[in-house]
Amino acid sequence: MQNKKSKKEFGLVWEEKTEKVIEQCKKEFPVLTEIKNREVKTNSSKTTNILIEGDNYHALSVLNYTHNGKIDVIYIDPPYNTGAKDWKYNNDYVDINDNYRHSKWLSMMSERLKIAKNLLRDDGVLICAIDENEFYRLGGLLEKIFYNREIHCITIVHNPRGVQGSNFSYTHEYAYFVFKKGLKVIGQRKIKEIDIDWRNLRDNGGESLRSDARNCFYPIIVKNNKIIGFGDVLDNKIHPKQTELKNGSSYIYPVDKQGIERKWRYARQSVEAVKHLLRVKDGKGGLEIEIGKDFGTVRTVWLDSKYDANEYGTKLVNTLVPTAHFDFPKSVYNVFDCIAPILYKRKNAIILDYFAGSGTTGHAVIMLNKEDEGNRKFILCTDNENKIAEEACYPRIKKVIQGHKDYPDITGIDTNLKYFKTDFVNAGPTDNNKKKLVDKSTEMLCLKEDCFEEIKRTKTYSVFTNNKEKYLGIIYDDDGIAPLKKEAQKINKKFIVYVFSLDDSAREEEFEDIKNLVELKPIPAVILNVYKRIFK
């Protein structure tokens, strides 16, 4: 009998562990309830950000309905599983002596990554921070779940003092970046002025003469050591000096110290696009024009004092919220530099962090919006273990929005915050439970449609708007149809209307007379379909 060689497979294998918060969803479906007294509202015309208190599996389940395929960046900083009782599994701390420590961690991460994956846009990016304790296992898990994506890992020196191990002093941690293959999604990093590499805009070496490119010989006009404009390309018959004075301004030409007519590195038709990269410098023979790029490709090893987690994490949080108790917050610049190269050109992006902790990701998003007047929104999800949500994350974000005298550059911007908690309804397939789900769906629907400004809220129907640019109607039972229709006719603008229905229909026949004003969607069937897919 011929021997058959056993098939060898390479991959990550662990013993699956049942998690109570996941089992709960088979009996109860998660919804959201707003904690109104924790709303922070500064300007109704600005974006509304979200903080969800509750287990992140439940929050992600809700977001699978409200934000499927809508998230630009997911940034997470999960428990590092150091064995130092820094996280719980099924309400028990996981310590270093737990033989299933790594399996529990992988089970927890796997369940959340699988449903978080649904939230990413086609060009979305997942970023996951980690240290040496689960670095290799996380890499294998990401390859398993995101098998068709690019996965890159960078190293960040976040603790220059080091954490002493038995053989090495650890000064760094990692960040995995995951995105669709073949996409250019990581933009440029910004370079501090002190680190910019400047060079003369005047060309040198081979093919640097005026005769090599006629359109590259023109004056750069300088006044009070600032570039104020560019002159026309000079006729070949005219031979100027390196600097010529006209009407109180200096006209600088690409003529070197030996009087040789050379050319600028940029033609006249393209130089204005790089004006912001140019500077005037005093040279031995007169004024010189230099170019220096304040951006560059993101590197894979990050060394900078601003990534120090003690200085710009712990001390920052303790200053903003002296009563907060949160171990090892990230440097806000660490998170900022992770998300900013992706988001510089996405000023209306949505950023999710479902291990929000002290709210560093939200802080980084607010900083980025303040820098370039963007309208990006964040969604933070965190449990309230040791009152992290209400005594660390929430007050920090509130202080960042309102501003703090010790950090004027990275706090203080008009934006808004809504605070939700996860809640539950019975998952039994009865008509009564379907009605209860609809009655508790208001916050989910407001979140889905980004409409939070309440116009009217009753037991039978509600109306919300987004700064009067978008209108949302919710009908909880048949008695709400007629008054909602009157409200839509009075406002006379397009409405998205969610209609309670025990089947997949949206009661279209009831809205025939205003069909030009409404886009109808049935509930709760679409919500139940999402939950059935997740909790199967």
Condensed to tens digits (0 to 9), the pLDDT of residues 414-443 reads 999 999 999 999 999 999 999 999 999 999
Query: Is the confidence at residue 5, as pLDDT, over 70?
Result: no
What integer pLDDT is reported at residue 301 of this predicted model?
A: 96
Q: Report whether 466 contacts 453 (CB < 8 A).
A: yes
Query: What is the side-by-side order of every strand in the sheet holding 453-457?
Result: 453-457, 461-465, 471-475, 495-500, 518-523
Query: Is the confidence at residue 2, as pLDDT, over 50?
Result: no
Which amino acid is present at 35? I
Lowest-confidence range among 55-64, 209-218, 291-300?
A: 291-300
Give the chain's length.
536
**Any residues with CB less than 8 A from the CB of 509 and at least 6 apart, and which?**
none
Which amino acid is present at 517? L
What integer pLDDT is reported at residue 234 of this predicted model?
A: 95
Q: Report whether 176 contacts 205 (CB < 8 A).
A: no
Average pLDDT (264-285) is 92
Distances (CA, A) of 371 to 317, 338, 349, 374, 415: 21, 16, 15, 8, 14
pTM of the prediction?
0.89
Specify burial of residue 238 (Cβ count, 10 A radius: 0-12, 13-18, 19+): exposed
| Residue 96 pLDDT class (50, 70, 90 cuts) | confident
Helix H segments across 15-131? Answer: 20-24, 56-66, 101-116
What integer pLDDT is reported at residue 39 of this predicted model?
A: 97
Q: Which domains does the chain have, with CATH numbers?
A: 29-191+298-422 (3.40.50.150), 198-292 (no CATH), 425-535 (no CATH)
Query: Is the confidence at residue 408, as pLDDT, over 60?
Result: yes
What integer pLDDT is reported at residue 16 of this predicted model?
A: 79
Q: Is the dihedral of CA 32, 33, 35, 36 positive or negative?
A: positive
| Residue 518 pLDDT class (50, 70, 90 cuts) | very high
Q: Report whether 464 contacts 440 (CB < 8 A).
A: no
Which amino acid is present at 348? N
CA 222, distance to chain mean position in Å, is: 41
Maximum Cα–Cα distance across the chain: 100
| Residue 209 pLDDT class (50, 70, 90 cuts) | very high
Q: Mean pLDDT across the chain, nearest whole number?
A: 93
In the block, tokens 């934000």 appear at 67
Dihedral angle computed from the Cα positions of residues 118, 61, 128 and 9, in that order, rounded to the nearest 10 degrees = -60
Distances (CA, A) of 198 to 218, 278, 283, 389: 21, 9, 14, 46
> Which stretch of DSSP H or E encloses residue 175?
strand 172-180
CB atoms within 10 A of CB 434: 20
